[in-house]
Amino acid sequence: MRIIVLLGAPGSGKGTVAGHLAASLERFYHVSSGDMLREAVRSRNAVGLQADGYMRRGELVPDELIARMVGDLARGMPASSTLILDGFPRTLGQAELLDATVLECAARLGPVVLLSVGEELLINRISGRRLCSRCGEGYHVSFMPPQRDGVCDRCGAPLIVRRDDKIETVRRRLQVYKAQTLPLIGFYEDRGQLCRIDGEGAAAEVVERVRLALV
Ligand code: AMP
């Protein structure tokens, strides 16, 4: 098993890049910690009930909670798979818990891809983000608009703004990123595993830059 990490601020394009790679490369799987947690909140299970408040405030859920979910998923995947982690790890504690999972699964970790995007563009990207209320398809009002305003191209359901994409929460999420996730850059750089990629520009260009970094 190979584990690739996508690191970057909210709005840096981790989900878009991971989605494209998983759709185009065989045995590559997109593992989004945010999607896993949102699904847990929707299904109102024990993890969801615990995570809900943190997510509403734009804060991180406890390390063990999310590390256990990702670890359980990795243990259930075939050895031939490549997992693209989108949104995990986000703290040094989580990076250590990930090392334990890597060992346990006899996996290979790397590269850790950092998507660099300026703050103004991050806020622009997040505040224009829309999500289908039924199938979850993602859009952006300027960069990736639906054919009909406010309606999903794929299933026709109304588009919504993600609860934590509201501007006050976005600012909080960026603060949390700087305080808790930025230290991971030095951590992986010291281990020679970090690969910096320019995350600005069209999605297809960024995906191509990352794809080249993986080979
Ligand atoms: P995302 O979709 O990756 O932006 O994640 C949305 C929210 O889920 C975050 O603001 C956190 O509240 C929570 N979350 C996602 N991944 C993690 C993680 N690795 N550690 C802690 N909280 C997380």
Question: Contact, 176 vs 59, CB < 8 A?
Answer: yes
| Single-letter residue type at 117 | V
**Residue 197's pLDDT is what?**
98
Rounded Cα distance, 142 and 158, in Å: 17
pLDDT per position as a tens digit, 94-145: 999 999 999 999 999 989 999 999 999 999 999 899 999 999 888 999 989 9
Classify residue 121 by burial, with Cβ atoms within 10 Å: 0-12, 13-18, 19+.
middle
| HEC profile of 58-122 | CCCCCHHHHHHHHHHHHHCCCCCCEEEEECCCCCHHHHHHHHHHHHHCCCEEEEEEEEECCHHHH
Averaged pLDDT, 139-162: 94
Does residue 90 have its Cβ closer than 6 Å to ligand 1? yes
Question: Contact, 40 vs 120, CB < 8 A?
Answer: no
Does residue 97 have its Cβ closer than 6 Å to ligand 1? no
Whether 45 shows a pLDDT value over 90: the answer reads yes
Return the residue whose CA atom lies nearest to atom 15 of ligand 1. Answer: 34
Rounded Cα distance, 152 and 200, in Å: 25
Does residue 184 have its Cβ closer than 6 Å to ligand 1? no
What mean pLDDT, rounded, does the chain reach? 95
**Residue 131's pLDDT is what?**
92
Return the residue whose CA atom lies nearest to atom 8 of ligand 1. Answer: 34
In sequence order, the 6+-apart residues with CB closer than 8 A to the CB of 113 are: 4, 5, 6, 7, 17, 195, 197, 210, 213, 214
CB-CB neighbours of 103 under 10 Å = 10
Which of the following is catalytic: 2, 162, 163, 209?
A: 162
Please report which confidence band the pLDDT of residue 200 belongs to, taking 50, 70 and 90 as the band edges: very high
Residue 173 appears among annotated catalytic residues: yes
| Single-letter residue type at 31 | V
Please tell me what DSSP assigns to residue 157.
P
**Residue 168's pLDDT is what?**
85
**Residue 153's pLDDT is what?**
97
**Residue 136's pLDDT is what?**
86
CB-CB neighbours of 155 under 10 Å = 12
Averaged pLDDT, 30-51: 95
Q: Which residue has the higher pLDDT, 167 or 103?
A: 103
Rounded Cα distance, 107 and 124, in Å: 37
Q: What share of the chain is helix, strand, coil (3-state, %, to 5)?
A: 50, 20, 30
pLDDT per position as a tens digit, 48-107: 999 999 999 999 999 999 999 999 999 999 999 999 999 999 999 999 999 999 999 999
Return the residue whose CA atom lies nearest to atom 22 of ligand 1. Answer: 60
**pLDDT > 70: what percent of the chain?**
100
**Residue 182's pLDDT is what?**
97
108 forms beta bridges with 2
Taking the centre of ligand 1 as the mean of its atom positions, its distance from the CA of residue 61, in whole angstroms, is 7
How far the first Cα of the chain sits from its last, in Å, is 15
Using the atom order of ligand 1, give the atom closest to the CA of residue 70: 19
Please report which confidence band the pLDDT of residue 8 belongs to, taking 50, 70 and 90 as the band edges: very high
